[in-house]
Amino acid sequence: MYDILIIGTGPAGYVAAIRAAQLGMKVACIEKSSVGGTCLNIGCIPSKSLLDSSLKYHQLLNEYDEHGIEAKDVKFDLEKMMSRKERVVSQLTNGVEALLKSNKIELIEGSAKILSSESVEVATKDKIEVLTTKNIIISTGSRPSDLPDIKIGDHILDSEGALTLKNVPRNLVVIGAGVIGLELGSVWSRLGSKVTVIEAQHEFLPMLDPRISRQVLREFVSQGLDIRLGCEILDVKETDTGLNINFNDKDEARSLDVEKIILAVGRKPNTKDLFEEDLIPLNEKGFIEVDNYCQTPVKSIWAIGDVVRGPMLAHKASEEAIMVVERIHGLNTELNYDHVPNVIYTHPEIAWVGQSERELKELNVDFKSGSFPFLASGRALAAGETVGSVNITADTHTDRILGIQVFGPSASEILQQGLVAMDNDITSEKFSTTVFSHPTVSEALHEATLAMNNKAIHIQNRKKRS
């Protein structure tokens, strides 16, 4: 009998397995596809590889001239770009397999079905067997969502298909202006596609405060993305050259002929055929019902990552994995879901954590805020990366930092510094006394914190109310 059987080897599953092995448990992972899951194979890692490759090409073509660097006859090799992406993926997945092996974790290639609280049926290419275990962790991840009348095919792609194109489309439509849509739209726009992004919501990136989302929208439009908000898709038809898409754009009928459509309308949990419906409850959206510690109503069955509530993020899944394994081992580990960071890896990056100003107002929280533009950052100016700003909020009475939003260079790295302060309940006053290296873009976070307390040095402070 195993101590833990883990179904799925993505950032949730393999992290759970390694931590369990460290704690001396007998553990096995069941994987029906590829070690590393969606993130390593067809999601986070390959998309970031193409984002970085396409950015280097775009910058060489359009931005280096102001640095006195001239390049003639600039071109790119898409096949080579894709090969590099595959090498990056292969190196990381091989690394995960090596980690599982070095930690003496049994890897079973096959499909799993949970039969009871302590038994799992596994179908491999050779046989079907039933394994017994004290605990089961479900970490089967998610898959792209679709739309009722728009089916994936040769010209209509999901996020996986959009990362394997063999040619750059002359033009394409991205349906969905969220994280995936903006990242994929950026890749193909940089490589020469005319990209139109169609979004049903009337508000752009509503999780951000309006002044940040307005900056982001303005910048992406200047980069060449045609972003249409408040749209309703009427129909999509195949043509001799690709597709014709008809939609209402704020009640005005529009029609576009495009080579490809990328569906980026979110993701849904992978739970089909994993267990009998009466064994573990699902909510109305198909997610497995769990408590704050990712335990299902069946006490020996746990679920983590994309199959449960909360943001579908690899790092959230990994931290849930640690929490669950340590709780199985008898530790009282918890995860602060209020402090899970979010990042969109466009250029510039967008990153946020904690509560937005809008949320704080809705909760009637008395807060103060500070902001600092990268245009006033010496390091950003020297690098030619002056778009965007840092926003930070704190409780007026306790001075505890409540939220940070960053749009600009190295936003994900800047955010992480502020998150360390939040996680350790460091007040904004104390955080503002931290010495930041000069010149760095991180100084923007420092200055925003100073500005919140009317102590900013490199921008004018707001006048105090009399």
- The predicted-structure confidence for 29-41, as pLDDT tens digits, reads as follows 999 999 999 999 9
* Alpha-carbon dihedral 341, 346, 348, 349, rounded to 10 degrees: 10
Q: What are phi and psi of 19, to 5 degrees?
A: -65, -40
Long-range CB contacts (within 8 A, 24+) of 282-286: 283/309
Residue 360 in 3-state DSSP?
Answer: helix
CA distances from 206 to 1, 203, 216 (A): 48, 6, 12
What pLDDT is recorded for position 464? 59
pLDDT tens column, 127-148: 999 999 999 999 999 999 999 8
**Residues in Cβ contact with 367 at an 8 Å cutoff, skipping those fewer than 6 apart:** 357, 360, 393, 394, 395, 396, 402
CB 173 within 8 A of CB 157: no
| Residue 82 CA, distance from chain mean position | 21
Active site residue 438: yes
Q: What is the pLDDT of residue 249?
A: 94
**Domain formed by 348-452, architecture:** 2-Layer Sandwich (3.30)
- Point out the residues of the chain with pLDDT beneath 70: 464-466
Residue 396 phi, psi (nearest 5): -60, -35
Q: What backbone phi and psi angles, to 5 degrees, belong to 295?
A: -100, 130
Whole-number pLDDT of residue 276: 87
DSSP state of 100: H
Name the residue type at position 348.
P
Identical fold between 2-143+268-338 and 156-265 = yes
Task: Show me where the domains of the chain are located.
Answer: 2-143+268-338, 156-265, 348-452
Name the token pair of 148. 């009722």
**Which residue has 């499909």 as its token pair?**
111
Taking the mean position of all CA atoms in its chain, how far away is CA 271? 21
Q: CATH top-level class for 2-143+268-338?
A: alpha beta
Residue 466: per-residue pLDDT: 40
CA-closest candidate to residue 20, choices 123, 98, 116, 134: 134
Say which of 202, 315, 438, 458 is annotated catalytic.
Answer: 438
Quick one: CA torsion of 310, 313, 316, 321, rounded to 10 degrees? 100
156-265 fold: FAD/NAD(P)-binding domain (3.50.50)
Helix or strand or coil: residue 57?
helix
Mutual angle of helices 179-190 and 44-62, in 10-degree steps:
40
Report pLDDT digits (tens) over 190-242. 999 999 999 999 999 999 999 999 999 999 999 999 999 999 999 999 998 89
